[in-house]
């Protein structure tokens, strides 16, 4: 028993190698996917639009010299509406798959009238009311900022109008107070002119997920796609959603009380990136995650198999040598390597069936060769089939895996205790036919 226990512990070393192999293959897959997304477009985060008005300040220093600098006053829209149509597709890099998409968005924003409404930054309110000659509001240099996290994905932007007046987009940003990458639209204003209604259409490529930052006082987002496995991520879940095997639709409505931002302020406020929501395009099966989960059960799997062989050894008086246990343990570990390599090419369930059948057959035939007894071979085959069936069930039932695993371990222990209840463990090492010198039947 001690030797078998030590062998089981030593087999944890190759199990750890298999676990490392799965992680290495997963890193190789992630590297291949990065090569695709770097050329197509990465995860996209859409921020804005944001109206910015430069403010020129002039300060006199102690040496009576004038120091001039520019600050930026930022204004968020009262109403922000985004209509998104996501067109997904699967691309391959070798044997690996990556979920890509093209998102066609129609963005509409209504800015406050007048610009200084309620819930504005105190510093900005003071500047707006200040009449000093040291402060100049540069109305004609006003601009709109629209944040896009990965500009490589931008394919087309059109129909840009403010109160039906066309605007021309510019590359780069005038300021990085709010976002680190995006587009700029010049929109000259005057003190009496209001920004009005802004509208444009955008086509952007991305991969895996797309997020929206709800900068509007009220933000409404509608999304639909021909993808049947979405995951809704971020700080807000959709109010309405409908998911089928081949498509989904979702709608969000974010109100001003749901975000911790004023409608206008001066300077940087990068915390606007903290609140976002969106969609992640899940691939139907991640074979590496399931392989990692399978390896986590390797200790229980090997332990139950060794326990079954030990009970058969004791009950049938067909001794198994430690070498037999070692070879059976290596066969069990080889199953996880086969499962990993085959699941990279076919579905995980099919790979599980293809990997388990030859291992069960190998161990069963080895048992028959060692013992020469077909009855014992049938028992071993049945036990292995039940163990592989149990492991497959545990991998499918994520929420109930712990419950089913604990019940299975209890049932295994109860079975062993029942089958070995009449065994004289003290007499196993005694030569057959050698009675003890003192017993109830042969008292001194």
Q: What is the pLDDT of residue 124?
A: 57
Helix (H) / strand (E) containing 106: strand 96-110
Is the same domain home to 14 and 98?
no
Residue 37 lies in a domain: no
Rounded CA-CA distance 101/29 in Å is 19
92 and 232 part of one domain: yes
Does residue 50 lie in a domain region? yes
User: Per the domain annotation, does 406 fall within a domain?
Assistant: yes
**Would you state the structure tokens that stand for residue 396, as one six-digit string?**
């499918």
The C-alpha atoms of residue 320 and residue 366 are separated, in whole angstroms, by 11
Q: Residue 212 is part of a domain; what is its CATH number?
A: 2.60.40
For residue 25, the cross-strand partners are none
Residue 359: phi and psi, rounded to 5, are: -70, -45
Strand partners, 60: 66
pLDDT of residue 121: 52
DSSP three-state, residue 146:
strand
Predicted TM-score (pTM) of this structure: 0.70
Give the pLDDT of residue 427: 64
Q: Is residue 33 part of a domain?
A: no
Q: Are residues 63 and 47 in the same domain?
A: yes
What pLDDT shows up at residue 129?
56
Quote the tokens at residue 236. Answer: 């807000």
Buried b (16+ CB within 10 A) or exposed e, 197-213: ebbbebbbbbbbbbbbb
Residues 335-378: tens digit of each pLDDT: 999 998 898 888 888 998 999 999 999 988 888 887 777 888 88
Same domain, 100 and 15: no
In a domain, 164, yes or no: yes
Domain with 171 in it: 42-283
Domain end marker among 283, 305, 335: 283
User: Is there a single domain that holds both residue 63 and residue 140?
Assistant: yes
Q: Tell me: do 151 and 225 sit in the same domain.
A: yes
Nearest residue to 40 (alpha-carbon basis) of 88, 96, 101: 101
254 shares its domain with 320 = no
**CA 105 to chain CA centroid, nearest Å:** 24
Find out whether 298 and 292 touch, Cβ atoms under 8 Å: no
| Ranges of the chain with pLDDT below 70 | 61-64, 113-133, 192, 269-274, 284-285, 316-318, 398-399, 401, 420-421, 423-444
The pLDDT value given to residue 96: 79
- In terms of phi and psi (left: phi > 0; alpha: psi -120 to 50; beta: otherwise), the region of 193 is beta
Peptide bond into 114 cis (omega under 30): yes
On whether both 334 and 221 belong to a single domain, the answer is no
User: Last residue of some domain: 252, 283, 314?
Assistant: 283
The answer to the question of residue 236 being in a domain is: yes
Whether residue 34 lies inside any domain: the answer is no
Helical (H) or strand (E) element with 81: strand 79-93
Report the chain's C-alpha Rg in angstroms.
Answer: 34
> N- to C-terminal Cα distance for the chain?
34
pLDDT score of 205: 92
The answer to whether 90 and 226 are in contact (CB under 8 A) is: no
Say how far apart CA 367 and CA 37 lie, in whole Å: 51
The answer to the question of residue 253 being in a domain is: yes
CA gap 393, 377 in Å, rounded: 24
Shared domain for 17 and 58, answered yes or no, is no
63 and 85 part of one domain: yes
Q: Say if residue 96 is in the same domain as residue 194.
A: yes
Q: What was the pLDDT predicted at 131? A: 47
Residue of 351, 352, 342 whose CA lies nearest to 95: 342
Q: Which long-range contacts (C-beta less than 8 Å, at least 24 apart) are formed by 14-23?
A: 14/330, 14/333, 15/295, 15/298, 15/299, 15/302, 15/333, 15/336, 18/295, 18/298, 18/333, 18/336, 18/337, 18/340, 19/292, 19/295, 21/337, 21/340, 22/288, 22/291, 22/292, 22/295, 22/340, 23/292
Q: What is the pLDDT of residues 399-422, one digit of tens each?
A: 676 777 778 778 877 877 777 667
Co-location of 17 and 106 in the same domain: no
Domain count, the chain: 2
């Amino acid at each position: 028993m001690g030797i078998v226990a030590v062998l089981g512990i030593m087999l944890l070393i190759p199990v750890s190698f298999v676990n490392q192999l799965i992680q290495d293959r997963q890193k190789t897959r992630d590297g291949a996917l990065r090569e695709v997304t770097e050329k197509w477009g990465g995860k996209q985060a859409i921020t804005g639009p944001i109206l910015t008005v430069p403010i020129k300040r002039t300060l006199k220093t102690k040496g009576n010299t004038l120091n001039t600098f520019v600050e930026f006053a930022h204004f968020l829209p009262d109403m922000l509406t985004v209509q998104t149509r996501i067109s997904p597709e699967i691309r391959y890099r070798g044997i690996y798959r990556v979920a890509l998409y093209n998102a066609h968005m129609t963005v509409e924003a209504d800015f406050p009238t007048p610009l200084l409404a309620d819930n504005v930054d105190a510093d900005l309110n003071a500047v707006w009311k200040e009449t000093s000659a040291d402060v100049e509001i540069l109305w004609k240099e006003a601009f709109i900022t629209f944040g896009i996290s990965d500009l490589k994905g931008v394919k087309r932007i059109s129909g840009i109008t403010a109160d039906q007046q066309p605007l021309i987009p510019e590359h780069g940003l005038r300021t990085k107070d709010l976002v680190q990458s995006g587009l700029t639209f010049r929109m000259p204003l005057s003190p009496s002119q209001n920004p009005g209604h802004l509208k444009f259409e955008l086509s952007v490529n991305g991969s895996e997920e797309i997020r929206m930052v709800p900068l509007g006082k009220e933000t409404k987002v509608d999304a639909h796609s021909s993808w049947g496995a979405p995951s809704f991520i971020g700080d807000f879940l959709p109010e309405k959603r409908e998911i089928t095997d081949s498509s989904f639709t979702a709608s969000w409505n974010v109100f001003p009380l749901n975000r911790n931002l004023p409608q206008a302020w001066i300077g940087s406020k990068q915390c606007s990136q903290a609140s976002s929501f969106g969609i992640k395009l899940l691939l139907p099966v991640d074979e590496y995650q399931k392989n990692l989960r399978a390896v986590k059960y390797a200790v229980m799997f090997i332990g139950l198999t060794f326990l079954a062989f030990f009970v058969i050894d004791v009950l049938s008086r067909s001794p198994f040598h430690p070498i037999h246990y070692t070879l059976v343990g290596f066969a069990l570990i080889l199953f996880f390597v086969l499962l990993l390599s085959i699941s990279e090419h076919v579905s995980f369930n099919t790979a599980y069936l293809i990997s388990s059948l030859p291992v069960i057959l190998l161990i069963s035939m080895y048992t028959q060769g060692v013992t020469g007894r077909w009855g014992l071979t049938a028992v071993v085959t049945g036990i292995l089939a039940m163990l592989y069936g149990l492991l497959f069930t545990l991998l499918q039932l994520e929420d109930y895996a712990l419950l089913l695993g604990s019940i299975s371990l209890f049932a295994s222990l109860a079975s062993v205790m029942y089958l070995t209840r009449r065994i004289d463990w003290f007499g196993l090492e005694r030569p057959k036919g050698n009675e003890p010198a003192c017993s109830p039947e042969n008292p001194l």
